[in-house]
Amino acid sequence: MRHTFTLANGVEIPAVGFGTYKAADGQGEAVISEAIRQGYRHLDTASAYLNEEAVGKAVRESGIPREEFFITSKVWRSRLGYESTRKEFETSLKKLGTDYLDLYLIHWPRPEDLSAEWRELDVETWKAMEELYRAGKVRAIGVSNFLPHHLNNLMERTGIVPVVNQLEFHPGYIQKAAVDFSQRLGIQVEAWSPIGRARVLKEPLLAELADKYQVSVAQICIRFALQCGVLPLPKSSSPERMRQNLDVFGFTIEDDDMHRLMTLPQIGWSGEHPDRERVPAEG
């Protein structure tokens, strides 16, 4: 059975994706090819990951038709603006070896220089993406790491509401305000780092629930996201863990356990925040 979410524009998207961040070294293509063998058809990449060529090659060499894949890429924060976004998009298509994308995102709402004016840059970037969408070059457009004030800037000044907002989301860091705001607008939230970091994996409550439901801690994290209406994008280089991370539809976390997970103190934050300088990650 194929599990999907339906975006606000009617496009179906596989309910668990494969995060390709850090799959950029010599093993990157092998890892992505293995993910495809394990059943992943939703692949999340970005120009900043430096692995679009590896993703494209893995897709082509899989022998599976392109239309069976859902491929996402993103315009990097140093390329914000109308013309640079158009160029970045075409570069991504060329590297991926495809003539369309399923989803294209603004990777971060602000350039690396946090003192720079971001509002106009985002609007110009979004206008370029709207044109690509209307031209059929991309099936859906969205954003990543956008908080409510970033989203409001777009919605007040452009014509299309983003259909996706990709956020850091995992037990111990659920960004409730940003998730609730997005979901009220019909924006599908995707979770990058849905399993968190070492501190999340070692959290006693996660271990307790993994034992209770007879699954892995990672499966608890991924199922938690799904039950929150959030689409998880787990990463792994292990075939066994890849397989486990897709096998999350045979159990349901009970309401009380969901509430316990939702109310964990903050743990495992990456240190990334769109309006702040990066700080050391929380384990």
Q: What is the pLDDT along the chain (283 residues), one digit of tens a residue?
A: 679 999 999 999 999 999 999 886 668 899 999 999 999 999 999 999 999 999 999 999 999 999 999 999 999 999 999 999 999 999 999 999 999 999 999 999 999 999 999 999 999 999 999 999 999 999 999 999 999 999 999 999 999 999 999 999 999 999 999 999 999 999 999 999 999 988 899 999 999 999 999 999 999 999 999 999 999 999 999 999 999 999 999 999 999 999 999 999 999 999 999 999 999 987 6
* pLDDT value at residue 49: 96
Catalytic residue among 21, 40, 49, 133: 49
Rounded distance between C-alpha atoms, residue 238 and residue 53, angstroms:
21
Task: Write the DSSP string, 41-73.
Answer: -EEE--GGGT-HHHHHHHHHHHTS-GGG-EEEE
Instruction: Respond yes or no: is residue 49 known to be catalytic.
Output: yes
* pLDDT value at residue 151: 98
* pLDDT value at residue 25: 66
H runs (alpha helix) in the chain: 28-37, 52-62, 82-96, 119-134, 148-157, 176-184, 198-201, 204-213, 217-227, 239-246, 255-262
DSSP 79: G
Rounded distance between C-alpha atoms, residue 19 and residue 235, angstroms:
5
* pLDDT value at residue 157: 97
* pLDDT value at residue 198: 87
Token pair listed for 283: 């384990």
Length of the chain: 283
Angle between the N-to-C axes of helices 52-62 and 82-96, in degrees from 0 to 180, rounded to the nearest 10:
40
* pLDDT value at residue 22: 85
